[in-house]
Structure 1
Amino acid sequence: MTITTAEAIEILGTIAFAISGSFAAMQKRLDPFGVLIIAFVTSIGGGTVRDLLLGDTPVAWMRDVNYCLLILVTSLLTIFFKKNIKRFKVTLFIFDSLGLGLFTMLGLQKGINFGLDPGMCVALGTITGCFGGIIRDTLLNAIPLIFRQEIYATACILGGVLYFGLLEMNMKPDFAKVSVIGFIFLLRIVVVRYKLALPKFGY
């Protein structure tokens, strides 16, 4: 069976966010059931909000149980191999950044498939990439990354703008998708490495 680029991105994104959610839950010392729940909402949260906004129901994970099984297996493997991974925080960051790029691209493509204008597609990409992490952090009693100084949602927006720019330059869609995913991933690494941040407001 041939897997399309969109399917490959969705599978990889689901795995990345399932690992991200699992590590975030293990940092909070949740039991295995808690780890599974956090992994699940991290993986499907953004896509669920996106599909509900589009009226595309039942939402994607309810139409294909394989994604639920993928999250389950990924979570169990993450729990099993946790002793071999010393730096939870670094691992969480890497997979969260990778999932952000992959799911942003999924949201962009879904908006295009629904015939929406580029601005709405970028918004959907940002929602798809960010909302799973928002739900995860809220359940774990942490301030979501999107609401902190870190460049998180901004990375999704810039990636979306880049994607449409690459298409305007007649780059092949598959190459443009890979470029945008890599851009968002690398941007997150550079931002954290050099401690770049948006200005903070408040008293």
Structure 2
Amino acid sequence: MNTYFDPSVQHALDLVGIFVFAISGALLAVRKNFDVFGMATLAEATGLGGGLFRDVVIGSVPPAAFEDLGYFLTPLLATALVFFLHPVVERINYAVLVFDAAGLGLFCATGTLKAHQYGLSLPASVALGLATAAGGGMLRDVLANEVPQLLRWDREMYAVPAIVGAGTVALLLRTSTLNAATMSAAALLAFALRMLSLRYGWRAPRAWHRTSRRTADTSASG
């Protein structure tokens, strides 16, 4: 199965993505005042959740996270780092966001490709690319009793950059132009959109005329 990257490079990129996602999970556990087991649980869920969901859906079993010990241990390393150094990690929160955006770009691209290589249609592959990139964060928020960031209107765009990156990979597959360079470009596009949304506060639109409609409904009920 062609991954378009050297396997050792792909493995290293996967671990980096898992690590930064796991840090965000462990940090949320600290803010929620969870104990070390809760921190490890959120770190594992955030780092591995999206990839596990994708692999189960496409029938790639056992999932990669259960075949490679490094995938399982990386979130534990992130947990230990946050456990002992969380004030420092909080201070470099912007750096964590940068790496998180890089993981988003990487996972939406590789998730789409892997789903397509297992025989899924391009639209289904895009959906699983999004799930790979954002599924861990959604699982983290649900476990922490938070509204998933993916669904919150008051947060900068997260799903849209992942969909754009995954959609670009699908287009490249459709036109038979996918290679290491173009796949990297698709991942960088998702990364850039996420960073721009953080920089300029871009958010996905809410329902059209939502405010005026709500006002009218309130007046009518009165």
Shorter-normalised TM range? 0.7 to 0.9
In the other structure, the counterpart of 1:52 is 56
Aligned pair in 2 of structure 1 residues 52, 170: CA closer, same or farther (>3 Å)? closer
Q: Deviation string for 1:163-182 (max 9, x for gaps)? A: 244563846x2222322222
Distance in 1, matches of 2:130 and 2:51, equals: 11
Question: Is 1:78 aligned to residue 60 of structure 2?
Answer: no
Distance in 2, matches of 1:200 and 1:91, equals: 29
Question: TM-score scaled by structure 2?
Answer: 0.80
Equivalence map 1:154-165=2 (5 Å): 154-165=160-171
- Structure 2: stretches of 5+ with no match in the other structure: 1-5, 215-222
Equivalence map 1:18-167=2 (5 Å): 18-87=22-91, 89-149=93-153, 150-166=156-172
Question: TM-score scaled by structure 1?
Answer: 0.86
Aligned pair in 2 of structure 1 residues 140, 30: CA closer, same or farther (>3 Å)? same
In the other structure, the counterpart of 2:180 is 174
**Which is higher, the Rg of structure 1 or of structure 2?**
2
In the other structure, the counterpart of 1:191 is 197
Q: Tell me the amino acid that sits aligned with residue 125 of structure 2.
A: C
Deviation of 1:86 (Å) = 4.5
- Contact 1:25/1:38 (<8 A) preserved: yes
Aligned pair in 2 of structure 1 residues 38, 91: CA closer, same or farther (>3 Å)? farther
Q: Deviation string for 1:141-163 (max 9, x for gaps)? A: 21111112242222111111222
Deviation of 1:92 (Å) = 4.8
- Structure 1: stretches of 5+ with no match in the other structure: none
Q: Tell me the amino acid that sits aligned with residue 193 of structure 2.
A: L
- Contact 1:23/1:88 (<8 A) preserved: no
Which portions of structure 1, spanning 4 or more consecutive aligned residues, are displaced by more than 6 angstroms?
none
Q: Deviation string for 1:117-160 (max 9, x for gaps)? A: 32221111001111100010111121111112242222111111
Deviation of 1:91 (Å) = 4.7
Distance in 1, matches of 2:46 and 2:176, equals: 34
SS in 2 for 1:30: coil
Question: Alignment RMSD, CA only?
Answer: 2.3
